[in-house]
Amino acid sequence: MVIMPGQSRLSKISNNHKMTDHYFENDWVTLHYYKFGNGPKVMLGFHGYGMHGKQFKLLEPALGDAYTFIGFDLFFHKQTRLKDQSLPAVKKGITKKQFAELILEFCKYEGIGRFSIIGYSMGTHYASVVTEELPHLIDEFIIAAPSSLNPGKLIPFFSKGKAGNKILEKMALNKTFLVRMLKTFRGLRIIDAEAYKILFGEIGTEELRYNFYACFTYLRTFETDEPRLLHALNHQNIKSIFIFGKRDKSFPPGIGKDFIAKVKHAKVIVLDEGHEMIKKNFVTRLTESLL
Q: Is the pLDDT of residue 14 over 50?
A: no
Chain-centre distance of CA 184, in angstroms? 26
User: How distant, in Å, are the alpha carbons of 25, 104, 195 from that of 191?
Assistant: 37, 36, 6
Q: How many helices (H) and strands (E) does the chain have?
A: 12, 10
Indicate if 46 and 130 belong to the same structural domain: yes
CA 114 to chain CA centroid, Å, is 19
Which residue, among 147, 107, 108, 155, has the nearest Cα to 128 in the 3D structure? 147
- By percentage, how much of the chain surpasses pLDDT 90? 69
Confidence at residue 4, expressed as pLDDT on a 0 to 100 scale? 42
pTM for this entry = 0.86
Task: Output 66 or 202, whichever has higher pLDDT.
Answer: 66
Q: How many domains does the chain have?
A: 2
- Average pLDDT of the chain, as a whole number: 90
- Residue 76: which domain range? 8-151+223-290
Mean pLDDT, rounded, for 147-175: 82
* Contact status, residue 179 vs residue 203, Cβ threshold 8 Å: yes
As a residue count, the chain comes to 291
Does the pLDDT of residue 240 top 90, yes or no?
Answer: yes
Please check whether residue 2 lies inside any domain of the structure.
Answer: no
pLDDT greater at residue 122 or residue 168: 122
pLDDT score of 17 = 59
Query: Are residues 23 and 128 part of one domain?
Result: yes
Domain harbouring 127, CATH code: 3.40.50.1820
Select from 114, 115, 94, 110 the least CA-distant residue to 5: 110
pLDDT computed for residue 198 by the predictor? 73
- 31 and 144 co-located in one domain: yes
With b for 16 or more beta-carbon neighbours within 10 A and e for fewer, the 134-150 pattern comes to bbebbebbbbbbbbbbb
Find the Cα–Cα–Cα–Cα dihedral 182, 187, 190, 196, rounded to 10°.
Answer: 40
Cα gap 156→8, rounded to integer Å: 37
For residue 113, pLDDT over 80 is answered with: yes
Whether residues 63 and 158 share a domain: the answer is: no
Mean pLDDT value across residues 127-139: 98
Asked whether residue 192 falls in the same domain as residue 216, the answer is yes
Whether residues 72 and 178 share a domain: the answer is no
| Nearest to 137, CA basis, from 101, 95, 97, 104 | 104
Look at residue 11 in the predicted model and tell me its pLDDT: 43
Q: Are residue 244 and residue 110 in the same domain, yes or no?
A: yes
The pLDDT assigned to 12 comes to 40
